[in-house]
Amino acid sequence: MALVPPHGGGDLKPLLLEGAALEAEKKAAAGYKKLNVSTMAACDCFMMGIGAFTPLDGFMTEADWKGVCADMKLANGVFWPMPVTVSAGDEDGIEVGDKLALYNDEFGGLVATMEVKDKYQIDKEFECKNVYTTTDTEHPGVAKVMEQKKWNLGGPVKVLSEGGFPEEYGDLYAKPAETRALFDKLGWSRVAAFQTRNPMHRSHEFLAKIAVEVMDGVIIHQILGKLKAGDIPADVRVKAINALTDNYFVKGTIVSKGYPMEMRYGGPREALLHAVFRQNYGCSHLIVGRDHAGVGDYYGPFDAQKIFYEIPEGSLVLNPLPIDWTFYCKKCEGMASMKTCPHGKEDRLLLSGTMVRKTLSEGGDLPREFSRPEVVKILQDYYQNLEEKVEIKLHGAATGDTKK
């Protein structure tokens, strides 16, 4: 069987220039207006550059932005669940027709060039209510929207950089064309993606192994972009995940790769965005567990599963692989889920990345059922050497104090 097609019905659409075209555009950029962009906008450029955001050809026009916020559709009718935008202020003096050089110092300077086809004022409350279901600035995704400047700029981009991700992460970093070639080489067509921004605890391991049982293979797909305060940085997470997969998974059943997006913490809408670009990476399924891409108590624990059955048929070729709440059951003496364990709450040890981070950041010990010892050692070393600690708050999805 063949791999699923890229999103939108055509071929992959990488916008990253190479060779002579790259050098020519870099020279041309010296004569363009300069715009400093956020780390999220820069990471969106990298995602467009490698073809992960196929079929986008740049930042969204007003018609695209409105359609995505309200109905999860681009102006041309193609399904798309979250805005991909770049903003500017009056002080930047940018008008329709300008050519821009997009810069971000955290990623080495020049990131991309852009032709401004549209300029429109952002209705931040409209975006936040529709996409994040809240305007509370304690929500990190909402905070990013509220920090944007007055105007959105829409138009095509030419991507000139990968932001140092290939150099920093080596073989872990992968473009959609590369994972597709890898899956073909392995003979995989039914491929499930496991999304993670955290080191994997026993519940994550259990989810991935369920998928291994029913798929040709699983890609553990790690986010490499910027996270919120208190999250474990990518380099530490990579070490922890490697320790787990090297010791507790059968060789040849999984691959571990990373991608350069910045987390939005958008819950159900972000789960759909994860599905869109996983389809571009060649995945036929996305594992959707409890509180996928959520934060705090803004979303119900299974809202990210439900939304896949609420979108119009044909929006995605990729299918969700929904898995119920998982935990360690003392009576079952192993990992289980709500569908497989008949015992009560008092016998269940609920596992969450938030609980792991909170316990270790406060110098506590994790029960052996929480995580593998090789993983715990790496995380303990990280927290012991951390000079500035962030208070980590528990929420309902992390403690089980929420209704299914």
Residues marked active site are found at 197-198
Contact 86, 59 (CB under 8 A): yes
Contact 6, 55 (CB under 8 A): yes
C-alpha to C-alpha distance for 371 and 380, rounded to whole angstroms: 12
DSSP code for 92: G
What single letter denotes the amino acid at residue 190?
R
Length of the chain: 404
**Dihedral sign, Cα of residue 120, residue 124, residue 126, residue 129:** positive
Measure the CA angle with vertex 287, ends 283 and 288; round to 5°: 135
Measure the CA angle with vertex 268, ends 139 and 9; round to 5°: 130
Contact 266, 273 (CB under 8 A): yes
With H, G, I as helix, E, B as strand and everything else as coil, classify residue 308.
helix
- Beta carbons within 10 angstroms of residue 316's beta carbon: 20
Residue reference for tokens 């080596």? 170
- Beta carbons within 10 angstroms of residue 260's beta carbon: 26
With H, G, I as helix, E, B as strand and everything else as coil, classify residue 324.
coil
DSSP assignments along 164-176, one per residue: THHHHHGGGB--H
